[in-house]
Amino acid sequence: MLKDAIRQLARDLRSQKLRTFLTVFGIVWGTVAVTLLLAFGTGLKRQMIKTTAGLGDRICIAWPGLTSVPWQGLGKGRRIRITEEDIQVVRVRVEGLKAISSEYSDSFKLNYGTKTYPVDTAGVGPEFEQMRNLVPEAGGRFINPIDVEQQRRVLFLGNKVAETVFGKGTDPIGKSVLLAGSPFTVVGVLKKKQQDSSYNSRDADQTFIPGSTFRALTGKKYVSNFVFQPATALESKGVSARVLESLGNRLKFDPKDKEALSVWDTTEQFKFFEVFMLAFTLFLGIMGCLTLVVGGIGVSNIMNVVVEERTKEIGIKMALGARQGSILGQFLLETLILTTIGGAIGFAITFALCAVFPSFGLEEYVGNPDVSPAVASITVAVLGLIGLVAGYFPAREASRLDPVVAMKM
C-alpha cells in the first residue's frame, strides 16, 4: 500500500507542480519556524543562565551598613562591623548553609618589572572559588586552606589582568610580582568566562589573595562584605533569614533591618529567568505552530484538488470492491508522505543553520541555537497531527463518494 501510495502521489504531484511546490514550501517554512524559534529560545536561555552564573552559582552577597531602627536599647544609625570570627560563627550555627566566605576589598598597585598597574584586590577564602565560579586555567590553582592558615603571599589573577601585566600568550604561573609593595607569587589565572553582572568589578579585572594575608597586609579587621551559598536554591530565603538572625543576635541589630545588613539573593534571578523563558518559549512555539498550521491548510487544499481529479478513478476502485477504509487510508497516507517530505526538508534546513550559526560569533549576545530532543519531538508530533487533520477531510470526502456518480464525472 505504501509503494502504491508513493507512486500515485508522485503522479498527482507532477500534474500540480506549482501547487505542490507552494504546499511543500509551506510545510518547510512552518517546520523551520517551529524548530528554529524554539532552538534559538533554548540557546538564549542557556546563554542567559551561563552569563548570570558568571557572578556565582546561586549565591547570596551581604553588605553590612547602618542600622535604621532602634534595637534592644541601642539607637539607629549604628554601623554594623563584621569580623572573621562572626563569619565562623555563622558557618557553624546556620543550618542549610553550603559555603560562606568573607571578602575584603581594596585597590592596590601591582609592580612587575618596571611597570606599575592599579588593580582591584579581594581577600577571600577557599570557598570563594566554587561559589563565584572562579575556575583556574590549566596548570594553576585558586587559594587553598593552607594559604589562608599560613598567610601565604599568593596571588590569583583575573585573565584580563594577567594579559595586561604579562602579555598575551605568556604563562604567569610561578612568577613573582609586588602587590602593595609586598612580594607575591602568582599561583593561578582565571579561565575566561562570561559575566554580565558584578558588585565590584568584573572578575577578569580583579586579583585575589587569601583573606588572612589581606588582613595582615592592610591591618583591616572588618569585612567589606561576605558571600554565602545555600545547600539548595529552594532554601535560599530560609538560609538568608537564619544568617540575618544569627548575626543580628550576635551584633545586636534587628534581623529585619534591611539597612543594617543588605542581602542580594541571586537565586531570584534564576527563578525569574525560568519563568520568563518558559513564557518566551511558549510564545515562540505558538507562533511557529501557527505558521505550520498555514502550511497544513495548503496540504489540505492540494489534497482536495487531488480528490477532484481522481473522482472517476475512486469510483472505479469502489465499484471493483475497494472499501471506504482503504480509500480513506490511501489518501491519509499520501497526505502524511507529503507532510513528511516537507518536515524532513525543514529539519535539514534548521540543523544546517544551527551548525553554521556559531561561526558568526554571536554566542555572547544570543547564545547558540540548539534543537533539543524535546523540540524535535514536539515538532514531529505537531507535524503528524497537522498531516492527519489536513488529510482527513479530503480523504473522508473521497471515501464517501457514490461509485456510480463518481464514474460519470
Q: What is the pLDDT of residues 288-339, one digit of tens each?
A: 778 778 777 777 777 777 677 666 766 666 676 767 777 777 777 777 777 8
Question: How many CA atoms lie less than 13 Å away from 47 in the CB half-sphere?
Answer: 16
Following CA atoms 304, 305, 308, 310 in sequence, which dihedral angle do they give, to the nearest 10 degrees?
A: -110
Position 44 scores a pLDDT of 82
Position 63 scores a pLDDT of 96
The CA distance from 197 to 221, in Å, is 28
Instruction: Give Dmax over CA atoms of the chain in angstroms.
Output: 105
Position 144 scores a pLDDT of 96
Cell of 387: 498531516
Cell of 396: 473522508
Both 245 and 103 in one domain: the answer is yes
Both 221 and 83 in one domain: the answer is yes
Both 141 and 224 in one domain: the answer is yes
Q: Look at the pTM and tell me if it is higher than 0.75.
A: no
Both 6 and 81 in one domain: the answer is no
Helical (H) or strand (E) element with 350: helix 324-356
Burial of 168 (0-12, 13-18, 19+ CB in 10 A): exposed
Contact yes or no for 239/94 (Cβ under 8 A):
yes
How many domains does the structure of the chain reveal? 2
Position 393 scores a pLDDT of 76
Nearest to 178 by CA among 271, 132, 113, 243: 113
Both 247 and 330 in one domain: the answer is no
Contact yes or no for 335/390 (Cβ under 8 A):
yes
Range of the domain at 180: 60-265
Both 100 and 144 in one domain: the answer is yes
Both 153 and 295 in one domain: the answer is no
Supply the DSSP symbol for 234: G
Both 244 and 288 in one domain: the answer is no
The residue from 265, 294, 326 where one domain ends is 265
Both 386 and 276 in one domain: the answer is yes
Both 131 and 241 in one domain: the answer is yes
Tell me how crowded residue 77 is: count the other CB atoms within 10 A of its CB: 11
Helical (H) or strand (E) element with 60: strand 60-64
Position 312 scores a pLDDT of 73
With a cut of 70, list the residues of the chain below it in pLDDT: 1-16, 18-19, 306, 309-311, 313-318, 320, 322, 401-409
Both 381 and 400 in one domain: the answer is yes
99-156 per-position pLDDT tens digit: 999 999 999 999 998 899 999 999 999 999 999 999 999 999 999 999 999 999 999 9
Position 381 scores a pLDDT of 84
The residue from 200, 231, 265 where one domain ends is 265
Both 77 and 175 in one domain: the answer is yes
The CA distance from 134 to 53, in Å, is 11
Helical (H) or strand (E) element with 129: helix 127-131
The residue from 265, 286, 316 where one domain ends is 265
Our separate counts of H helices and E strands in the chain read: 14, 9
Position 285 scores a pLDDT of 78
